[in-house]
């Protein structure tokens, strides 16, 4: 009987569709740049010396690392590098180095300014690092197009030629496994945090978050139209989904339903909580890339890979 | 070798995210703060909101409308300036904190959320607002040619409606439209400092507000 370690190793070595990584490589930088856009428009105020900076608090728990304000020109340069590397990664132009540079800029701004840092700020460097460490850009985007063109010029055709072969559609990719597990871990921990908080004994936790400056017209319309008990039902559904996420996503029979529920949940979060839309899009990217049924992803991969 | 190293790193990260989310102090006890910070992504909305919270700033306008002399009109006995001639007027901080200006992801809202009990940060914020207003960087609700001698910061705790009650859209209203019962003052420039600044005296090194 295989040990747990063997089973994990087998799971990691199992070929997965390369397209899963490409979906993250294309969509995640766009969601992250969407989140960053309001900050990038004011880079000198955000990470530069034109705006307010929390002083060096010398080890205060709220300040993970003190980074002095950048001169305005350097703040704008960093913003430019972030935009260029993010777009290059999404376009598949030198995708892996672009993803690594993008990840580095994201990590810097997350540490530089705690005030404008949220979940997306902290997650995105890790997601982009995972993209950089995998074979990103090898079947879709500029890099793949240039390789196919070079193969054609060599007379090898897109499917042949030394060093110019199209990559296998299915291959073992640790980054994909990591990106599949990441949202499940986040849901599980989030569900337990909610259960340890108010979600098991306060029937209107969701309702209580509908009335502040995150409120969108859709949130207001739904809060006005739906009966109070419906928010308790939604709350219970979200809690059950998150707490039991390892089961829902681990069991192949429930995985498609978990995918649909997760996408629906994040769609509603994005529609109802204003700026949280970018976090919702990032999570939806991870769900679609990681948990869309294998047969569909394989089918979608056929035109692009060997 | 590299593969195993990266695998272990990934597993450690995932374990760290999970442990931090469920409330374990293990990650924070063994990792540097800057590394632990990147694990704090999963404990999302665990508690019910008790009120809709907003943070506001006011500036102390000297009685004659300019630093350098005291007048006798416009006295305002609100917290932080009893007996000092002049008045508190709301400063719209949004022009000085333009990122996500109209929601709680705004940096002014965040500095209040995290650091309202941290005096060095509040002093730095006071200096920043006085300087930004003094330089006339933006229209903040107080005329640009009227200097401010100090600030006070408050939180608004707006009660939440119950299901079934008539709802109103979340909106930003002037501070003066909220009842005192919904305001909580937590920082203000010391009265003696307001008087000194209104009299045209410069701060001495090491001076701090209350």
Q: Per the domain annotation, does A3 fall within a domain?
A: no
The C-alpha of B203 sits at a distance from chain A's nearest C-alpha, in angstroms, of 19
Residues B74 and B29 in one domain: no
What is the domain range of residue B93?
51-162+170-198
Residues A234/A237/A239/A240 CA torsion (nearest 10 deg): 170
Residue B134 vs residues A49, A72, B64, B66, B147: alpha-carbon distances, Å: 17, 21, 16, 11, 6
pLDDT band of A4, cuts 50, 70, 90: confident
CB-based burial of residue A217 (10 Å sphere; 0-12 exposed, 13-18 middle, 19+ buried)?
exposed
∠ at Cα A173 (A169, A178), nearest 5°? 130
B67 has a pLDDT exceeding 60:
no
Instruction: Name the residue facing B107 among A116, A182, A188 (closest C-beta).
Output: A116
Question: Is residue B178 in a domain?
Answer: yes
State how far the Cα of A190 lies from the Cα of B188, in Å rounded to an integer: 38
CB contact under 8 A, B33 and A178: no
| Number of CB atoms found within 10 A of residue A124's CB | 30
* B94 in the same domain as B33: no
Cβ within 8 Å, pair A181-B14: yes
What is the reported pTM? 0.92
Q: Which helix (H) or strand (E) is A25 found in, with range?
A: helix A18-40
Residue-level pLDDT at B66: 52
Domain assignment of residue A273, yes or no: yes
For an interface test with A, the pick among B1, B3, B7, B10 (most A C-beta atoms closer than 10 Å) comes out as: B10
A1 assigned to some structural domain? no
Task: Check whether B77 has a pLDDT greater than 70.
Answer: no
Statement to judge: residues B153 and B126 lie in one domain:
yes
Number of domains observed in the structure of chain A: 1
Specify the pLDDT at position A155. 61
Q: Does B141 reside within a domain? A: yes
**What is d(CA A89, CA A83) in angstroms, rounded to the nearest whole number?**
10
Per DSSP bridges, beta strands A170-171 and A16-17 are antiparallel
Query: Considering the domain boundaries, does residue B42 fall inside one?
Result: no
Domain-located, residue B115: yes
Which pLDDT tens digit goes with each residue over A59-80? 898 999 999 999 999 999 999 9
Shortest Cα–Cα distance, A164 to chain B (Å):
24
Q: Are residues B71 and B6 in the same domain?
A: no
The distance from CA A9 to its chain's CA centroid, rounded to whole angstroms, is 25
pLDDT tens, position by position, A270-287: 999 999 999 999 999 999
Residue at B186 is within a domain: yes
Q: Are residues B102 and B134 in the same domain?
A: yes
- CB-CB neighbors (< 8 A) of B102 in chain A: 213
ipTM (interface pTM): 0.93
Q: Which residues of A touch B39 (CB under 8 A)?
A: 122
If one counts the domains in chain B, the total is 2
A215 touches chain B (CB under 8 A): yes
Looking at the domain assignment, is residue A5 inside a domain?
no
Q: Give residue A80's domain range.
A: 17-301
Q: Is B72 on the interface with A (CB under 8 A)?
A: no
Cα A109–Cα A115–Cα A118 angle in degrees, nearest 5: 70
């Amino acid at each position: 009987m295989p040990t747990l370690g063997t089973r994990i190793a087998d799971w990691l070595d199992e070929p997965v569709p390369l397209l899963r990584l490409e979906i993250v490589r294309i969509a995640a930088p766009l969601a992250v740049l969407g989140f960053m856009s309001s900050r990038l428009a004011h880079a000198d105020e955000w990470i530069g010396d034109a705006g307010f900076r929390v002083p060096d608090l010398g080890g205060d728990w709220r300040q993970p690392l003190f980074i002095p304000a950048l001169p305005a020109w350097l703040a704008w340069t960093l913003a430019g590098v972030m935009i260029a590397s993010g777009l290059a990664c999404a376009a598949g132009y030198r995708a892996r180095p672009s993803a690594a540079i993008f990840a580095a800029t994201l990590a810097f701004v997350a540490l530089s300014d705690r005030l404008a840092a949220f979940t997306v700020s902290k997650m995105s460097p890790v997601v982009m690092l995972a993209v950089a460490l995998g074979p990103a850009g090898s079947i879709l985007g500029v890099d793949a197009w240039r390789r196919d063109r070079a193969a054609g010029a060599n007379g090898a055709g897109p499917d042949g030629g030394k060093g110019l072969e199209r990559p296998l559609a299915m291959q073992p990719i640790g980054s994909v496994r990591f990106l599949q597990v990441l949202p499940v871990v986040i849901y599980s921990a989030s569900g337990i945090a909610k259960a340890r908080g108010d979600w098991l004994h306060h029937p209107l936790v969701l309702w209580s978050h509908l009335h502040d400056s995150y409120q969108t017209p859709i949130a207001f319309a739904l809060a006005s139209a739906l009966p109070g008990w419906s928010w308790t039902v939604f709350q219970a559904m979200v809690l059950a989904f998150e707490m039991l996420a390892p089961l829902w996503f681990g069991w192949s029979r429930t995985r498609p339903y978990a995918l649909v529920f997760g996408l629906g949940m994040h769609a509603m979060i994005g529609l109802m909580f204003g700026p949280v839309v970018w976090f919702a899009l990032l999570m939806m990217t991870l769900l679609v890339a990681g948990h869309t049924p294998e047969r569909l992803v394989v089918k979608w991969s056929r035109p692009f890979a060997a | 070798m590299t593969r195993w190293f990266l695998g272990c790193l990934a597993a450690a990260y995932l374990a760290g995210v999970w442990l931090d989310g469920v409330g374990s102090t293990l990650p924070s006890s063994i990792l540097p703060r800057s590394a632990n910070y990147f694990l704090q992504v999963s404990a999302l909305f665990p508690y019910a909101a008790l009120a809709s919270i907003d943070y506001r700033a006011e500036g102390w306008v000297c009685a004659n409308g300019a630093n350098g002399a005291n007048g006798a009109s416009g006295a305002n006995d609100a917290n932080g300036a009893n007996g000092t001639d002049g008045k508190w007027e709301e400063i719209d901080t949004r022009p000085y904190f333009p990122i996500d200006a109209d929601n709680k992801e705004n940096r002014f809202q965040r500095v209040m959320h995290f650091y309202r009990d941290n005096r060095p940060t509040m002093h730095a914020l006071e200096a920043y607002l006085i300087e930004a207003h003094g330089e006339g960087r933006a229209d903040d609700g107080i005329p640009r040619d009227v200097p401010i001698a100090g600030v006070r910061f408050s939180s608004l705790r707006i009660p939440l409606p119950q299901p079934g009650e008539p709802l109103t859209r979340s909106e930003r209203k002037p501070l003066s439209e909220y009842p005192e019962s919904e305001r909580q003052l937590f920082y203000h420039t010391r009265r003696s400092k307001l008087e000194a600044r209104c009299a045209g005296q410069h701060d001495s090194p090491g001076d701090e507000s209350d």
